[in-house]
Amino acid sequence: MALVPFIDMLTMLVVFLLLHSSDVEILPNTKNITIPQSIADIKPRETVVIMVTTEDILVNGASVAKIADLKPNDPQLVIAKLRDALKTQNDSSLRAAAQDDLAEREVTIMGDKGTPFAVLKRVMATATAADFGKVSLAVIQRETEVGAGA
Amino acid sequence: MASSKLAARAIRNHAKYRGRNDLNIVPMIDMMVILVFFLLFTAVFSNTNIIELNLPAPNSSVPDLPKGLQLEIIVRHTGIEIADRNSGVLRSLPKKGAEHDYAGLSEYLQFVKGKYPTVLAASVLLEQDIQYDVLVQTMDSVRLWQMDDKPKYTKVELFPDISVGDAPVVGAAARGGK
């Protein structure tokens, strides 16, 4: 039968897709927000993730605060609800080595492109106030990089 | 009766393959198609990376300003200003159309890097409602200079230790301090 080339193609596709799905996805998918593109090339690590969408602030997938509730000229920089949520994360999902060393605790912020800096600044201030020493921003690799890749 | 039906089917199927000596690959193709679809839908085609920030700890005191260059990149709605905290604005780059002038920023920072090769730190200061995207693009220009040498796109480090802060309000900026 003329099925043989078809099977060849399928086999190739399966192998290709298997190889490409092998790099583990650490950050949650970003269907509802568009995160900015960047030329940064540091791979994400397993950390606590703060996601800032156009409406909510989420910590590891659970909504903790609404953007609309943030008052624009609040003298208090730290978002109390977010800080409390981050404090509980401290105990559960951090690597054992990072439990005591404050400076080594990491948090990754995934923000929507359109997030104003005022909101972002407060999220970052809250992260440092909740004893996370390292703050990283999640970005998508820019397309021109694909040609340069590896 | 059900058993006779099954028996009839077995006989029929057997008759279908009688006299053929090739493998029945149809189930394999079924599995392959299912696998392909499964992998296609779970595949990630966009690569997510991270930018590391250099934020001060909340309880650390403000250190005495060291001598030398204290590079500040101030992003405003009207454009980008490159300033030294000690001596004031070095260069201001107005917006080009709707976009900030990242190319001009990168070019001028390469010039600064040439003069002060040992400086690694820079502060990106933003006005309150600047979008996150602008921050990331500015940080890209400040951190690295990506050469246009296709297909390698060599990256040269400029000022990778970036801290982020508030832009001084207009007027105070002219005095070059906060």
Q: Does A98 touch chain B (CB under 8 A)?
A: no
Cis amide prior to A116 (ω within 30 degrees): no
CB pairs under 8 A between A and B: 153
pLDDT in tens, B140-161: 888 888 777 777 677 777 888 8
Residue B95 has φ and ψ, to the nearest 5°, of -60, 145
Distance separating alpha carbons of residues B167 and B75, to the nearest angstrom: 7
A3–B132 C-beta distance less than 8 A: no
Number of Cβ within a 10 Å radius of residue A2: 5
pTM of the model: 0.69
The full set of domain ranges for chain B reads 2-42, 71-175
Mean pLDDT score of chain B, rounded to an integer?
76
Distance separating alpha carbons of residues A147 and B31, to the nearest angstrom: 33
Which residue from B minimizes the CA distance to A43? B49
Given this model, what pLDDT does residue B34 score? 92
Per-residue pLDDT of chain A (150 residues; tens, 9 = 90+): 687 888 888 889 888 888 876 665 666 666 677 878 888 777 777 778 888 888 888 887 778 888 777 766 666 777 777 877 777 776 655 555 555 566 667 788 888 888 888 888 888 888 887 777 778 888 887 766 444 333
Six token digits for residue B166: 């508030």
pLDDT in tens, B48-69: 777 777 766 555 555 555 666 7
pLDDT in tens, A94-129: 555 555 566 667 788 888 888 888 888 888 888 887
Six token digits for residue A108: 């990754």
Looking at residue B127, what DSSP letter applies? Answer: -
